[in-house]
């Protein structure tokens, strides 16, 4: 397959194959499926927009676009096994037995111009977008992300496509919390260890947090202002409690905060940290780690931002919303291949400080230059701009 590629793109295809070899993808499917997977990932890295099967094979003519269509639709290549390979790679690369933490969140991939996309076959539907403050048509993806403590790795270890009730039957419907429960139990069964799992208010539900506690995991979330808690024998809303507390200024955190122990009927005994930023907005951080201090809980809450960055980077640099297939199986596999591409981009870095955007741009320049050195900068260019001219 590599012999049919252009000479300028063979190096990229070889590097992708080498990265997939580190993930031990050889046992995931047939040799043809693995080669097509490498071709698909290389196309996602090489192209900036509209990473469809047809455009990928135009730039990487190793196989025709029908072969990539078969990879997405009918080839026996389970996506959960592919994510399990990422979990095993994380276990091998973790610096210590508990070398990271988990982030749980969901993202809405808008399909604004896909009105003819059949909901019953693709899983797309109308969902509320908090970014645009309105209903949009698209796909809802729940992702479980493993992050290293030092910030070097962000590896997706599980995902599920959430479908609204009107799209699937009542018997097949699963809420986001139920999907998250299945994903968490799946990675725990695979032996993935972590320091804690962090999520936002939507996933801080009573039954879900109790399930996480039964698994022996430390969880961290945020409470809704209307949640009732008991403090010093008085039952009240957490928002009313926060208004009565005298919060102290924490210079190292840049906000006012206070930590205390409370009892919540739906959760049990919790460690609660009430914070107020410079705009006067309150936040109610809770955890089942009763011995954690205030600074630790606030830093754990801030670490949840890593899952937001993977959504941004996957959309911009890996083509998360580029799939135009109408079949549900193709949509699921495209999301899996995009998350795999995000991991491969991190594996192709020259140093830990290099971003995935820099890796993508570097390989695009390698393909464009085709081994040639760039010409000297023009003399008319100012000296301070010659490095980027």
**Looking at the 3D structure of the chain, how many domains does it have?**
2
pLDDT of residue 294: 95
Same domain, 258 and 348: no
Domain enclosing residue 205, as ranges: 200-303
Same domain (yes/no): 260, 353: no
Residue 117: the pLDDT is 60
In a domain, 310, yes or no: no
Q: Does residue 257 sit in the same domain as residue 344? A: no
User: What is the pLDDT at residue 171?
Assistant: 81
Nearest to 145 by CA among 163, 157, 132, 131: 157
User: Quick one: pLDDT at residue 131?
Assistant: 73
The reply to whether 297 and 363 lie within a common domain is no
Q: What is the pLDDT of residue 297?
A: 95
Q: Got the DSSP string for 246-258?
A: -PEEETTTTEEEE
Cβ(12)–Cβ(367) under 8 Å? yes
- Is residue 327 domain-shared with residue 294, that is, in the same domain? no
Q: pLDDT value at position 228?
A: 95
225: left (phi over 0), alpha (psi -120 to 50) or beta: alpha
State whether residue 284 is helix, strand or coil. Answer: strand
357 and 268: one domain? Answer: no
**Structural domain contains residue 57:** yes
pTM: 0.90
Residue 285 lies in a domain: yes
The predicted structure's pLDDT at residue 376: 76
SS3 382: coil
**Paired tokens of 43:** 């196309």
Q: At what angle do helices 7-22 and 31-46 cross, to 10 degrees?
A: 120
Whether residue 268 is contained in a domain is answered as yes
284 and 351 housed in the same domain: no
* Contacting residues for 24 by C-beta, under 8 A, at least 6 apart: 85, 88, 89
CB under 8 Å to 260, separation ≥6 — which residues? 231, 245, 272, 274
The predicted-structure confidence for 204-254, as pLDDT tens digits, reads as follows 999 999 999 999 999 999 999 999 999 999 999 999 999 999 999 999 999
Among 303, 332, 355, give the residue marking a domain's end.
303
DSSP state of 197: E
Low-confidence stretches of the chain (pLDDT beneath 70): 94-98, 112-123, 377-378, 386-389
pLDDT digits (tens, 9 = 90+) for 107-120: 988 876 666 565 55
Same domain membership, residue 351 and residue 276: no
Mark whether 283 and 335 lie in a shared domain. Answer: no
pLDDT over 90, % of the chain: 62
Q: Are residues 296 and 356 in the same domain?
A: no
Q: Is 313 a domain residue?
A: no
pLDDT in tens, 116-133: 565 555 567 777 777 777
């Amino acid at each position: 397959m590599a012999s049919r590629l252009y000479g300028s793109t063979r190096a990229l295809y070889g590097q992708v194959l080498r990265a997939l070899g580190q993930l031990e993808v050889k046992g995931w499917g047939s040799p043809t499926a693995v080669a097509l997977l490498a071709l698909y990932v290389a196309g996602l890295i090489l192209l900036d927009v509209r990473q469809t099967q047809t455009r990928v094979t135009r730039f990487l003519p190793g196989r025709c676009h029908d072969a990539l269509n078969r990879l997405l639709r009918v080839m026996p290549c389970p996506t959960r096994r592919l994510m399990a390979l990422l979990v095993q790679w994380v276990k091998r690369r973790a610096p210590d037995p508990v070398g990271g933490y988990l982030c749980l969140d969901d993202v809405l991939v808008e399909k604004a111009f896909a009105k003819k996309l059949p909901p019953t076959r693709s899983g797309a539907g109308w969902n509320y977008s908090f970014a645009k403050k309105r209903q949009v048509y698209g796909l809802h993806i729940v992702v479980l992300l493993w992050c290293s403590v030092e910030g070097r790795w962000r590896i997706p270890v599980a995902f599920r496509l959430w479908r609204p009730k009107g799209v699937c039957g009542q018997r097949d419907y699963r809420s986001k919390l139920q999907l998250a429960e299945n994903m968490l139990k799946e990675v725990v069964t695979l032996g993935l260890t972590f320091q804690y799992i962090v999520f936002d208010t939507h996933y801080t539900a009573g039954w879900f947090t109790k399930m996480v506690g039964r698994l022996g995991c430390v969880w961290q979330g945020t409470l809704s202002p209307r949640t009732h808690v008991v403090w010093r024998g008085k039952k009240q809303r957490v928002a009313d409690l926060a208004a009565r507390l005298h919060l102290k200024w924490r210079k190292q955190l840049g906000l006012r905060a206070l930590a205390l122990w409370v009892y919540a009927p739906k959760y049990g005994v919790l460690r609660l940290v009430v914070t107020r930023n410079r705009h006067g907005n309150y936040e109610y951080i809770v955890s089942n780690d009763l011995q954690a201090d205030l600074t630790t809980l606030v830093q754990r809450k801030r670490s949840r931002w890593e899952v937001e960055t993977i959504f941004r980077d996957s959309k911009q640099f890996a083509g998360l919303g580029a799939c135009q297939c109408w079949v549900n199986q193709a949509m699921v596999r495209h999301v899996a291949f995009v998350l795999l591409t995000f991991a491969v981009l991190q594996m192709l870095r020259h140093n830990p400080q290099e971003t995935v955007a820099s890796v993508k741009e570097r390989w695009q320049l390698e393909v464009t230059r085709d081994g040639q050195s760039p010409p000297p900068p023009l003399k008319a260019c100012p000296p301070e701009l010659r490095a980027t001219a």
